[in-house]
Chain A
Amino acid sequence: SAVISQKPSRDICQRGTSLTIQCQVDSQVTMMFWYRQQPGQSLTLIATANQGSEATYESGFVIDKFPISRPNLTFSTLTVSNMSPEDSSIYLCSVDGLVADTQYFGPGTRLTVL
């Protein structure tokens, strides 16, 4: 299985600021994904982070609000821009596992926007 770490684990931010979340994997992976879990809700896919090309965003999510970088096969960042209280969520990255048909998740970043 892949070991995934995220930084920061949690943060409290002011409205209007931006936060960059890092996702590090202990092995090279092709596909990395970013999800959002709003309070009391299930996970929603934000985007697929592709190495060497722009991220692919799901309906309702735009690059200006959630810019993503994927500089190599083990690392990705998600920025939450111009934050509002509605952005308070847990943000999780996930990767396709080295074993076929598995998808592993990082521990998540708990974001609170005041």
Chain B
Amino acid sequence: SQELEQSPQSLIVQEGKNLTINCTSSKTLYGLYWYKQKYGEGLIFLMMLQKGGEEKSHEKITAKLDEKKQQSSLHITASQPSHAGIYLCGAYGGGADGLTFGKGTHLIIQP
């Protein structure tokens, strides 16, 4: 079965600084989703990457897919308190169109 490893597990960043979160898959990626979750709440869809080399942006968040490395990175520029939360990557795994998720990256923004 597919496994997704996210790094780092947690991240404390000063407001205004840039940061990067990585998601590495144990198998070929056919589609990689990024979500944000506020503690104890549902998931907010950020973006989905499908093609190698694809790059998408959502406000100050940019994600890239490196198909060869079976990896995706999420980059936040000039971080703000509103960026705090848990970032989860998900990919098509063994289920019928359901997603396999990484364990998440807890992001804290310090003022």
Q: A residues bordering B, Cβ < 8 Å? A: 1, 31, 33, 35, 41-45, 48, 56, 58-59, 90, 92, 94, 96-97, 101-108, 110
Whether A101 contacts B31 in the complex (CB less than 8 A), given A42-B101, A42-B103, A90-B40, comes out as yes
Q: List A contacts of B93 (CB < 8 A).
A: 45
Q: List B contacts of A59 (CB < 8 A).
A: 94
Contact: A45 with B98, CB < 8 Å?
Answer: yes
**What's the least CB distance linking A29 to chain B, in Å?**
11
Contact: B101 with A1, CB < 8 Å?
Answer: no
Contact: B97 with A31, CB < 8 Å?
Answer: yes
Q: List A contacts of B90 (CB < 8 A).
A: 43, 103
| B111 at interface, CB cutoff 8 A | no
Q: B residues bordering A, Cβ < 8 Å? A: 31, 33, 35, 40-45, 48, 50, 88, 90, 93-104
Whether A105 contacts B102 in the complex (CB less than 8 A), given A42-B88, A48-B95, A48-B96, comes out as no
Q: List 9 extra interface pairs beyond A104-B45, A105-B42, CB under 8 A.
A: A48-B96, A58-B98, A97-B45, A102-B45, A103-B90, A105-B35, A105-B45, A106-B42, A107-B41
User: Nearest A residue to B104 by beta-carbon distance?
Assistant: A42
Contact: A48 with B43, CB < 8 Å?
Answer: no
Q: List B contacts of A103 (CB < 8 A).
A: 33, 45, 48, 90, 99
Contact: A58 with B101, CB < 8 Å?
Answer: no
Q: List A contacts of B104 (CB < 8 A).
A: 42
Bound-state CA distance A113–B95 (Å) is 27
Bound-state CA distance A43–B40 (Å) is 12
**What's the least CB distance linking B100 to chain A, in Å?**
7
Bound-state CA distance A103–B43 (Å) is 10
**What's the least CB distance linking A7 to chain B, in Å?**
13
Contact: A56 with B96, CB < 8 Å?
Answer: yes
Q: List B contacts of A44 (CB < 8 A).
A: 101
Q: List A contacts of B96 (CB < 8 A).
A: 31, 48, 56
